[in-house]
Amino acid sequence: MPENNEPTIPKVKTWGKENYPFPKGAGFIECDEMKCTGCKICQMACSMMHFGVINKELSRIQVRKYLLPLPKAVQVTCVQCHDEERECEKACPVSPPAVYFDNNSKHMVVNAKTCLGKDCLKCQKACPAEAVRLSPGHTTAPFVCDLCDIANSGNVNPQCVNVCPNTALRFLPTEARFGQFAQDLLRKHADEKAELIANRLYPLTRETIAEPGWRQEEK
């Protein structure tokens, strides 16, 4: 494992932002919805890393598509919340919680041995972004983004960041969230993000154009 618990940066360049400096401590994956094209290569890379198969349902990062009215993709993944804001951990009925932030490896972990599995799923319901995943046909416990640190050793190397062909994902230090507002925006549900994007890209509707003050065709 690298000295000082630092993540490994790939020596071979790929498509994404993997050659940007990775954080030395706690970090999170920043999603840039405006750059995402919905190719879902990130999901393929994630499932290959963790399960050795291409199965988008086994991915810890999800890409959801909306019509706004044109097609738009929105990514969903765990943003490694701060202690007091970790709703999944607070909702877990197990003591100690089966889903928790590992202070040594600096990312979320799910203890499959103590987790109550599909009979509970309180962590999944508590997460405002629905970033906690479960694939009943393949796993008995939910799973969440571990920054591709499968061995839980602290050697993180998020594959989704490495392969994104549109640089829509970046691995940043926790401090880069720039305060509470940024944190709340990052962990919004994909539906809420899609609504915000729609308002930004398509601010005018037939109703707003017809409001007083707008020039209308004479009948």
Strands 107-110 and 62-67: unpaired
Q: How many domains does one find in the chain?
A: 1
The one-character DSSP state at 72 is E
Provide the strand spans (E) within 121-212.
169-173
Position 57 in a domain: yes
Of the candidates 141, 158, 10, 3, the residue with the CA atom closest to the CA atom of residue 77:
158
- In the DSSP assignment, the letter for residue 2 is -
By residue range, what is the domain housing residue 157?
14-200
Q: Evaluate if pTM is beyond 0.85.
A: no
> CA-to-CA distance for 121 and 88, rounded, in angstroms?
9
Question: What is the per-residue pLDDT for 219?
Answer: 45
**Considering the domain boundaries, does residue 207 fall inside one?**
no
Please report whether residue 64 resides in a domain.
yes
Residue 177: per-residue pLDDT:
67
- Indicate if the pLDDT at residue 1 is higher than 80: no
Residue 50 lies in a domain: yes
Query: Domain for residue 213, yes or no?
Result: no
Is 80 inside any structural domain? yes
Name residue 63's beta-bridge partners: 75
β-bridge partners, 108: 101
Rounded to whole angstroms, what are the CA distances from 111 to 96, 100, 132?
10, 8, 13
Q: Which band of pLDDT confidence, cut at 50, 70 and 90, is reported for residue 214? A: very low
CA dist list (Å): 184 to 58, 59, 128, 136, 143: 26, 23, 10, 29, 22
DSSP helix/strand/coil, 218: coil
Report pLDDT for 49: 96
Q: Is residue 216 part of a domain?
A: no
Residues 168-182: tens digit of each pLDDT: 999 988 877 655 545
Distance CA(87)–CA(133), nearest Å, equals 15
